[in-house]
Amino acid sequence: MDEAEAAPPGTTVPAQRGRLVLVPNALDHGAVAQELGAVLPRAALQWAARLRHWLVEDARSARAFLKRVDAVVPLEQPLQSLAITELPRPPKGRRPGPPCEDSARDAATKALLAPALDGNDIGLLSEAGLPAVADPGAAVVGAAHALGLAVLPLPGPSALVLALAASGLDGQSFAFVGYLPQDAAARCERIRALEATSRRLKQTQIFIETPYRNNALLGSLLECAAAATRLSVSQALTLPEGSSRTASIGQWQRLHAAQPAQAPLLSDRLPAVFLLQA
C-alpha cells in the first residue's frame, strides 16, 4: 500500500495510520453450524482474530461471527473488549444508492474511521460474503480512500460470482443489477429490458430477491422472458443443500409444470441468485 512514506528530515514521524480491512463472512447467514475454516481462508480468520475495532451491519451477528472465528483461530482479545460499531442504516427503500455526497453524512462516515487515524486497523464485516459488494458498506470504503487510509480486501467467497461461475453463462461480460421491482407489471417490463440489454451487450444479467419471494420471481421470469432465454438459479451456495440449475425458460416451464404445486422448484427459505442470458 502507499502509506509508508518516509517523513522528511527534521519533521516528527507521523503515527502509522491504521488500515480498513475488508473481512469476508461465510454465506450461511449463521443459519448452520458450519466450521468457518472450511469456507474462509486462513488469512481472513487470522485477521479477524486480531482486529480490535469493527464496523459491522449488525453487532449481534458480528459477535456470533467472531465466536465462530474464535473456534478456529482464538481471538487475541476477549470478545467483550472489542469495539464493535454498527454502520448507520441505509435510507429507507430497497436500494440505498451510491455513496451519498451529502457532507453531513460524509462527515459521519469519516468519523467511523477515527480509530484508524490513531493507528488502529479497522475490520469491515458484512452479513454474508464480501463487505461493500451488494451491501451498504461501500460508503465507508470510499471514506477510507478519501482519508488516505489503505484498504485491504481479504480473500473470501461472494455469492454473486460463485453463482456466475456455476451458471455456465457468459462470465466475460456480466452485470449485477440488484433487486427487480415488486409490482408485477413493472417487474415483467424490467425482465424484458434485462433480456434486451443481455442481447445487445452479450451480457449476463445477475439479480437477487428476498428468499420468501424466490418462487414469485421465478413465476414472473417464466411468464415474461422468452422461451430461448437461459436462466440460472443458484441457492445456498457453499452449504450442503446448495444447488445450481441452468436451463432455457422453456425447459424451466416444463420443469415447473411437472412439479406438484406444494413443492415449488425453489426454496423460499434459502437465499438465491438469479442470472439470465438472452
Q: Show contacts with a second copy in window 115-174 (CB under 8 A).
A: 130-135, 137-145, 150-158, 160-174
Which residue in the set 14, 32, 42, 186 belongs to the binding site for a second copy (CB under 8 A)?
42
Q: Which is nearer to a second copy, 80 or 145 (CB)?
A: 145
**Binding to a second copy by residue 246, rule CB under 8 A?**
yes
Q: How far is the CB of 219 from a second copy (least distance, A)?
A: 19
Which residue in the set 63, 110, 213, 245 belongs to the binding site for a second copy (CB under 8 A)?
245
Contacting range for a second copy; rule: CB under 8 A; set: 7-15, 54-62, 209-217, 235-243: 235-243
**x/- track of binding to a second copy for residues 44-73 (CB under 8 A):** ------------------------------
Q: Which is nearer to a second copy, 78 or 154 (CB)?
A: 154
Q: How far is the CB of 261 from a second copy (least distance, A)?
A: 18
Q: How far is the CB of 38 from a second copy (least distance, A)?
A: 4
Q: How far is the CB of 54 from a second copy (least distance, A)?
A: 16
Residues in 74-93 at the binding interface with a second copy, rule: CB under 8 A: none
Distance between CA atoms of residues 229 and 17, nearest Å: 51
Residues in 186-215 at the binding interface with a second copy, rule: CB under 8 A: 202-203
